[in-house]
Structure 1
Amino acid sequence: MLTRLRHNVWIRLLLLVLVCACTGLALHTNWTQAREAVTDLPLWVPPTAVLAGMAGLAAQMLAWRSLLSGLGSPLPRAAAARVMFVGQLGKYLPGSVWAFVAQVELARDWNVPRSRGATATLVAIAVTVSVSLAVAAVALPLSSVEAARRWWWALAAAPVLLACLHPRILGLGLRVAARPFARFREVAEAGPLRIGGGAVAASVGWTLVAWIPLGLHVWLLTWAVGGDALRSLGPAVGAYALAWTLGLLVVFAPAGLGVREVVLVVALAPVVDAGAALVVAVLSRLVMTVADVGWAGLSLALSRAPAAPEPERA
């Protein structure tokens, strides 16, 4: 099945059309919901928020690229951007697993073994979840007591998950996870899955950097709908970090649809009323959808297509 996916142009074209249709539908739906709110914002706010969102996504791409390099399959920045940002459009299909599959298969076009591509993506998710919960655990208790009380269990998991990113624990987890697949030829040819502490540290660092612009775009939207500039900072950053994480974990919701909105409304309650918080949630979803589409388009335009894939061995 995966071999056919790589070599059959028609299957890929059909999947591309399906992904584009779902992404276009998401963009249209988000625009319809947010259109009136957008027209009430200062003209410079929407494009600034989109640029901030794109900056955060770029840092997340570099975090994933660091892990892939640590596993022994470094990619040029342009190629890594093409793989990640085009693959991430799969999250607009029902079930976030499609983004994972697309990313692994697109990386395979650049001769990245599936075992390494899958491992880098799974570890990147673990890093994102751990760091994002840590950011929320620091920001929310000081600014949104209700959100911290409601989702205390998620915030309490942050130090445990961060500890699991230690190279020894992570290495043990990789070896255990890879054991059932050791008999597959491609896994055996790729060699043992080892990732150094430097690569993990770089990924954690880039993920932390990502939360500066990602939090900034929510803070900017919160301020634009009437929130106090200073008091909105903590709730905006913490709320979006938690909303992003819980939306990522609810795999049956396309791009975390519905989950992010609930978290943002509760967490922003100390600085804006429920109606304004819902507006921020809707605007944020539109902004990040535009950022996803923008990066996918730019990565296709600014990078070369990979060479013809190597033939699969029997």
Structure 2
Amino acid sequence: MVGLVALGFVGYGLTRNWAETEAALRRLSWWSIAGSVTAVMAGLGCMLLAWRAVLAGLGSRLPLPVAARVMFVGQLGKYVPGAVWAYAAMMELGRDHGAPPRRTFSATSIALVVSLGCALAIAAATLWHVVGRAWYLPALIPLIAVCLHPRVLAFGLNLFLRVARRDPLDRVLPGSALVQATAWTTLGWLVYGVHLWLPVADLGAGPVYPLATGAYALAWATGLLTVIVPAGIGVREGAMVLALAPVLDAPEALVAAVVSRLVFTFCDVAWAGLGFLLGRMAGRQESRASTYAAQ
């Protein structure tokens, strides 16, 4: 149900802003848009592997098709106003496949903190012209690094679960799982950089991959920290225009930002559809295996 509501919000947003979106698409060549879509699909795949590694480290190892269904169908909830719908949908889907809700909640929270830490580190390393204005973003890196210690994570999550009157975690996330998740997340962010670099280069900015990667990392982190806005809409674009200022004028930077939003929205829906189909196929295979075993 949350997924259907989210698709409604996605459709409404695209329809309302279609004139702006169409104008942005007309400015770019087909190859830069196709390459951008490919990069985001690959980057989201890396984030899936990172989240799955955390969930497995906490004790629930889901088959890859099932993990894709839980994560990407559930993630559509971020397009619904409010900060809880994606969590609620993922927890419910995880429960259907044997992952306790508290474990899915914890894995999603850890993966989000890891992603935020990687994004801030990349932005701080590449966007010297912005760091002075957004000093609070790199200042969060040491705090996130401390919070990523497995025992600190376990303490914080168990405290939240206790307040929410839920059972505590039954294990601490192993360091190996955290390292694996961080590696996949970092790779995902580096691939995400390609999705913005291609349209930025197409608009005449030249070979500015590090800047494009940092610009999207800053924009995403800013949008995430603005939790009252569904999926960081508007906030992300403003931060991206600011970060791209050294190489693009504001109107051209806005074109790149609008295309980035469109590509991510398309890929979120595409991965959700793919995850839904893969999850159903995996479920049918499990049912057939159970039937054969019973016979």
Query: Where does 1:64-213 land on structure 2 (aligned, <5 Å)?
Result: 64-141=51-128, 145=129, 147-181=130-164, 184=166, 187=167, 192-213=170-191
Give the paired residue count: 284
1:242–1:263 Cα contact (<8 Å) kept = yes
Distance in 1 of aligned mates of 2:16 and 2:188: 26
Q: Give the alignment partner of residue 302 of structure 1, picking from 270, 275, 278.
A: 278
Residue 6 of structure 1: aligned partner: none
Compared with structure 1, are the counterparts of its residues 19 and 267 closer, same or farther at alpha carbon in structure 2 (3 Å cutoff)? same
Residues 103-155 of structure 1 show CA distances to partners (whole Å, capped at 9, x for unaligned) of 111111112111101111111111111111111111112xxx1x211111111
Q: Give the alignment partner of residue 39 of structure 1, picking from 26, 29, 38.
A: 26
Residue 47 (structure 2) pairs with residue 60 (structure 1): yes
Bigger Cα displacement from structure 2, 265-274 vs 21-30: 21-30
2:119–2:221 Cα contact (<8 Å) kept = yes
Bigger Cα displacement from structure 2, 76-85 vs 25-34: 25-34
Residue 197 of structure 2: aligned partner: 219
TM-fit CA distance, 1:266: 0.7
Q: Which runs of 5+ in 2 are unaligned?
A: 287-295
TM-fit CA distance, 1:163: 2.7
Residue 289 of structure 2: aligned partner: none
TM-score (norm 2): 0.90
Amino acid at match of 1:198: S
Distance in 1 of aligned mates of 2:260 and 2:111: 23
Q: Give the alignment partner of residue 265 of structure 2, picking from 263, 275, 289.
A: 289
- Secondary structure, in 3 states, of the residue corresponding to 1:226? coil
TM-fit CA distance, 1:49: 0.5
Residue 236 (structure 2) pairs with residue 260 (structure 1): yes
TM-fit CA distance, 1:158: 1.1
Distance in 2 of aligned mates of 1:138 and 1:165: 20
TM-fit CA distance, 1:30: 4.9
Aligned CA-pair RMSD: 1.9
Amino acid at match of 2:237: E
- Secondary structure, in 3 states, of the residue corresponding to 1:270? coil
Q: Which runs of 5+ in 1 are unaligned?
A: 1-11, 309-314
| Percent identical residues | 45
